Every structure is written in C-alpha cells, then in structure tokens.
C-alpha cells in the first residue's frame, strides 16, 4: 500500500472509536503518535505475532500508558490474538483491553504502564537484560541475543523524577539497544506544558550520555524512518528521538488541545474526524486491504524461522549454553537447587550463629549464588551496608557487560522499576537493595511488580528503630505495614540465619510475584529448632517454643522473636505457660489451610500478645481486639539502638510485665 497515512489512520479510527464506545479514555496520544507507530511497527520492529514470547523479539513499551488504544490497535492490526470484539470491549470488565496496558491480559503487552515514567524505567531494565544476556550467551558467529528495546513516552514521563534516575543510568551503562521516542506534543491534561515544563530536553539527554535526534516531524513517515534508522545503528549509547506531533491529529476542533487528551471526542467530533481523515468506514470496520498491509504474521514468522536456524546451529556447538538459556528464559530454577538450599538451611541451624540478619543474607548469597548463573544483584549506593555483594559479584559497566551486579547509585525508585523491566525481559533472577526506610521512594514500583506477578527480590536492611543513631528519618515505622498490605507481595522478616536462608530460598523459587526480604542491622540470637520446625518455617508462621497447656501466646518477628522466647522462659519460672510463634512471613501463613492456622494460633487461646519494633496496627488481625500489640505508635528518636529498644518497650522485662497484666 502506497499511502502510509491510511495505515496510520486505521490506528486513529480504532482508537477514537473504542474510546467513544467506552465514553472513557485517552484518544489524543494514539491519534498523535499513529504515524510514528506505523513506521516503527511496519518497518523496524522485529516481532512475531504468532509467538509473542519469542526470545529474540524487540521489546516495545508504551510508557505513556494512558494512550493504551495505540498499543491495542497495533496488536490487533498486526495479527496478535486480540480480536475486534476486544477492541470494542475497551475498558470493560474482564476485557483484554483495560484502560491502561496490563501485563498478562493481551498477548504482546510487554509491561503494565500507567504510572508515568515507569514504562521508561522498565525499558531501561529490558535493555540492561538484553546487554548482559548477550554477553553471557553470544558467540562470535552466533549472536542469538540481539534485539532492541523501543519505548514511547510523553511529557509526563519526562516530568516524573524517575525519568532522571533511569535515563542517567542508561547513559552511564551505554545501553545502545535502547531507543526512546518522545511524543513532544506540548499538551498535558492541564493544558499547554510550556507553563510548567520548559526543560531543554535535548541538552538534558545529551548530558546523560544519550544520542539525541531532535525536531523530527512526527507526521512525516520518511523523517520518522530516517531517525529510527540512525538510532538503530547508534550502538554505543541510547538514543532519544524527539518527535513533534499534534495531539488528537485529525480532529478538526480538538486536535492540538487538552480537550482530546483524556476524554472521548464525542459523536459529532468523531464524525467530523472521519471526514477530515477521509476515513469512509463505519466504527470498528477495517478494510481487508488495510488488514493485509498491517499483517505481520508472515514477516514475523520468517524472522523467527531465521533465528531458529541460527539457534539450532548454536545448540549443536554449545549445547549446555543453549539448554541454560532456554531454562532461564522459562524462569525455571536449576535442577538440584531446592535440595542444596535445604541442606544449607540445616547447616545454618547446626552452626547456631549469632549475626545480624543482613550478614546472614550475604551468607545466603554466597551459598546460593554459585548455583544460580541467572542471579543479577544490585544496591542503591548502600552495598556495604546492605551486604548485597557476594564472592562471585562483578560490576556491570558500559564497556563490560559480563558482570552480575549493578551499582544503581542513589536511585531507589529507578532501581526498583528497572528490576521490573529485567524480570519482564526474562533470563534473570534479580535483587536490589536499600534501607527499609527508603522503600518509600520506590513504593509504586514494588506495587507494579506485585500487580504484574513477576519475580523480583527487594532486599531491605536496617529494619527498625534498632538501627539507632541515624534517627527517625532513617528508622522505619510504618513501612512493613505498607509492604504487608500490598496484594501478591510476600514480606519476610527473619529472626536468625535459618529463617533468613529459608526466606531467600522461597524468594528465589517463587515465580508468581515479588518478595521483600527485611533484615536487621543488629546481631540476632539463633533459635533452637528441631527438623520439623525448620521445615515449618516455609509456612510463614510456626510454633517455635511451646507448652502442653499454654495460657498465653506470643507472636513475634525478626529481632523481637528472641525477646518473646526469653520472656516465655521467665514466665515459665513464675508458673505461667506461654507459646511463642515466629511469623517471618505473615502473608504466607495466611495462605495455609485453616487446620494449620488453628493449630498454630488456637482459636480458644485468646490471651495473645504480638511484639514487633514497627507499627503495631497490622497485628490486631492475629491477636484480636482483646489482644495486645507492643509496637510503634510514634516515630523513633536518635540514640543507640539498644537504648531505643529499651525506651519503646521492646524488652523482655516489659513483655513479661504486659503478659502478667493480661492474666491478672
């Protein structure tokens, strides 16, 4: 088909029709970016609609996710399993076309986007994954990992602070396979952005170490193609293509205005737009010749077949590497890992070591790391405090991608969203660390990981007021409550080396969501357990110390478990029997069957006290309103950790007194 504009208009028509039918959505961005998308998807994007999970496909990310109908239109037209009925069902319950792209709903959607800037961050993570994976598996004559990451973004993405974090790092790491296309339409929901966004974007990205192609007419297919060709062959640094576009292109009365940003055009304006675009077809009707011109199934299959030939040769020459790549891209754990991890857990129990759980975490990395070539770690400028560098760690640099550790710098939010991109790309089990307090900077990225059900391991140290003198700005209080309230996130706060090793094992083996591992700065007393108790740690909560006829039940996590044990022993001397339950992962405990939960927390044992040196409210679901929670209700103070634990009541003496008062 000669007229490329007609192909782009198919995207515009589907987008405005779907938004109009839903009476909800964002038609402006899809209509404005249709020409760019048409050129990219038809001339440059290497993908296979027949196999949306093809290993060596280019990744496409719509960071300005409110323009979701752009992506859905592209997927539908190019031959993915997204029917016209699903397009008609835009933004409706249980459709494959929700209001923002959601990973796992429709084939070809690489990530969930909507919170602006995070799609861009995901794309950086995907580009990192491609670069590292290529270094690990490619051979001179077999470049089996060789693909680009393309990301569309808007003004809003660039205004979000996360864009600075991730684009700065992308430049530093020389991610030459990352190509970002900026939809510079000058409009956001509130109107003309020149009133609040006047950055010199070109200079900004050049300062990051990007190549910048500026002032591209986003409605001229030849100029778009030329810029993409230039970007594709610039392999030593990422590229930003700045495209000047008209939001709502084709709408006679609303193009170039905020009115078309976040609302349906209206029936009358849709009719006028059809006339202006010379689109003489009914809503949701695409002529067969346009479908044929857009259909990428045959071309995509040809590309994949060519790659299959290359990979077959690779398999013959490097069979072990080929098997490992396939295993990793499927997200499978190496054979024998679970058994080896269990052996290490029992070794920890035998060693009975008194160390900080952050140190226990590092020991886990040294034990598990050699078994996991896919392990990719990092820290937000706190590696020496988080203890996330293990004996096999090697830094990833712009000129050397052979490592397995990313120095993220002070970029907690960026790190976490990049981790999501790495997980989405596949081939790695990645972890990233900071202080628990600073998960606040990254909270939305953690939520996105849980929403997408992707394996990422968020490591948090300095887990309570027990960190001491740094004071309340660094002392977490409410953070664990926020993590535990996040659906599909498992949060572990281990009490010693054994629980730490179990937590790491579970985080590594979990393939349906992220895990937060929360570790202490201060040393923790090891707990006495038999083999059955060690096995029960995996259930998230278990009886650690018991009595045939307990009158009182303690629930504790982390550093407070030993306080509960010592208090129970003192009460026993006084003739009061107590059960101690360690609950390192409450979410996992809640998933156990009722019989097990009742066995650990007998319904008739109502005298319950929970103790944790963090916000107290979470624990009332376990102790009941008649129970007592010893926890934080205020922020901390600046003082040595042991002084603070005394000051706020996290002591054996206070727990004993509270228990006696409950029974009196």
Active site residues per annotation: 412
CA-based nearest residue to 516, from 583, 446, 445, 462:
446
Q: Which helix (H) or strand (E) holds 270?
A: helix 267-276
Q: Strands 355-356 and 523-524, how do they pair?
A: antiparallel
Strands (DSSP E) contained in 360-498 are 375-379, 405-407, 429-435, 457-461, 490-492
DSSP states along 586-610: HHHHHTS-HHHHHHHS-TT---EEE
Question: Which token pair is 402?
Answer: 């052979």
Closest alpha carbon to 332 in 428, 397, 246: 428
The residue among 261, 117, 258, 262 whose CA lies nearest residue 195 is: 258
Interatomic CA distance for residues 187 and 194, integer angstroms = 8
Buried b (16+ CB within 10 A) or exposed e, 11-43: bbbbbbbbbbbbeebbbbbbbbbbbbbbbbbbe
Cα–Cα distance for residue pair 261/265, rounded to 1 Å: 9
Among residues 95, 92, 40, which one has the least CA distance to residue 70? 40
The closest alpha carbon to 326, from 315, 337, 338, belongs to 315
Task: Give dist(CA 273, CA 252) in Å, integer.
Answer: 6
C-alpha 494/C-alpha 456 separation (Å) is: 18
Residue 265: what are its φ and ψ, rounded to 5°? -70, -30
Are 120 and 151 within 8 A, CB to CB?
A: yes
């Amino acid at each position: 088909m000669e007229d490329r504009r007609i192909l782009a208009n198919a995207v515009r028509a589907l987008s405005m029709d779907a938004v109009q039918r839903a009476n909800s959505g964002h038609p402006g961005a899809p209509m404005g970016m249709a020409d760019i998308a048409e050129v990219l998807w038809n001339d440059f994007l290497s993908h296979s609609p027949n196999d949306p999970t093809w290993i060596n496909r280019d990744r496409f990310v719509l960071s300005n996710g409110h323009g979701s109908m752009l992506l859905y239109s592209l997927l539908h037209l190019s031959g993915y399993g997204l029917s016209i009925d699903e397009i008609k069902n835009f933004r409706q319950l249980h459709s494959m076309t929700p209001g923002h792209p959601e990973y796992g709903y429709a084939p070809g959607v690489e990530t969930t986007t909507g919170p602006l800037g995070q799609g861009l961050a995901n794309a950086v993570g995907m580009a990192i994954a491609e670069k590292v994976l290529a270094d690990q598996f490619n051979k001179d004559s077999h470049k089996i990992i060789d693909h680009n990451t393309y990301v569309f973004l808007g003004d809003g993405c660039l205004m979000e602070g996360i864009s600075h974090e991730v684009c700065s790092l992308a430049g530093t790491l020389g991610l030459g396979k990352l190509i970002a296309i900026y939809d510079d339409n000058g409009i956001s929901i509130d109107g003309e952005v020149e009133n609040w966004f006047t950055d010199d974007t070109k200079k900004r990205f050049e300062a990051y170490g990007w190549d910048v192609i500026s002032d591209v007419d986003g409605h001229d297919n030849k100029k778009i193609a030329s810029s993409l060709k230039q970007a594709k062959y610039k392999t030593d640094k990422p590229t930003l293509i700045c495209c000047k576009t008209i939001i709502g292109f084709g709408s006679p009365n609303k193009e170039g205005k905020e009115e078309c940003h976040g609302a349906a055009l209206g029936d009358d304006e849709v009719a006028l737009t059809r006339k202006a675009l010379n689109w003489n077809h009914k809503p949701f009707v695409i002529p067969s010749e346009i479908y044929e011109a857009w259909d990428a199934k045959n071309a995509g299959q040809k590309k994949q077949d060519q790659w299959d030939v290359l990979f077959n040769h690779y398999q013959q020459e490097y069979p072990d590497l080929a098997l490992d790549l396939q295993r990793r891209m499927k997200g499978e754990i190496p054979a024998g890992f679970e058994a080896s991890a269990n052996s290490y857990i029992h070794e920890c129990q035998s060693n009975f070591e008194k160390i900080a759980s952050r140190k226990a975490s590092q020991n886990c990395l040294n034990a598990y790391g050699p078994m996991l070539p896919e392990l990719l770690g990092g820290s937000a400028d706190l590696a020496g405090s988080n203890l996330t560098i293990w004996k096999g760690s090697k830094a990833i640099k712009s000129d050397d991608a052979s490592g397995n550790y990313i120095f993220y710098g002070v970029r907690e939010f960026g790190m976490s969203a990049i981790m999501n991109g790495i997980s989405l790309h596949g081939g790695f089990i990645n972890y990233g660390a900071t202080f628990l307090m600073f998960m606040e900077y990254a909270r939305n990225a953690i939520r996105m990981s849980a929403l997408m059900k992707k394996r990422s391991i968020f490591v948090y140290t300095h887990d309570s007021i027990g960190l001491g003198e740094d004071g309340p700005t660094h002392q977490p209080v409410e953070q664990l409550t926020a993590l535990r309230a996040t659906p599909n996130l498992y949060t572990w706060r281990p009490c010693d080396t054994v629980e730490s090793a179990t937590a790491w094992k579970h985080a590594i083996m979990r393939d349906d969501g992220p895990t937060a591992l929360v570790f202490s700065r201060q040393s923790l007393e090891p707990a006495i357990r038999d083999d059955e108790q060690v096995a029960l740690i995996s259930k998230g909560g278990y009886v650690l110390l018991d009595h045939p006829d307990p009158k009182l039940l303690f629930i504790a996590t982390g550093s407070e478990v030993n306080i509960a044990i010592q208090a129970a022993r003192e009460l026993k001397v006084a003739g009061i029997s107590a059960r101690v339950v360690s609950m390192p992962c409450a979410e996992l405990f809640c998933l156990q069957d009722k019989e097990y939960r009742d066995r650990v927390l007998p319904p008739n044992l109502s005298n319950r006290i929970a103790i944790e040196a963090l916000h107290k409210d979470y624990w009332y679901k376990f102790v009941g309103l008649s129970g007592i929670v010893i926890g934080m209700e205020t922020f901390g103070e600046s003082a040595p950790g042991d002084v603070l634990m005394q000051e706020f009541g996290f002591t054996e003496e206070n727990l004993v007194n509270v228990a006696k008062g409950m029974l009196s």
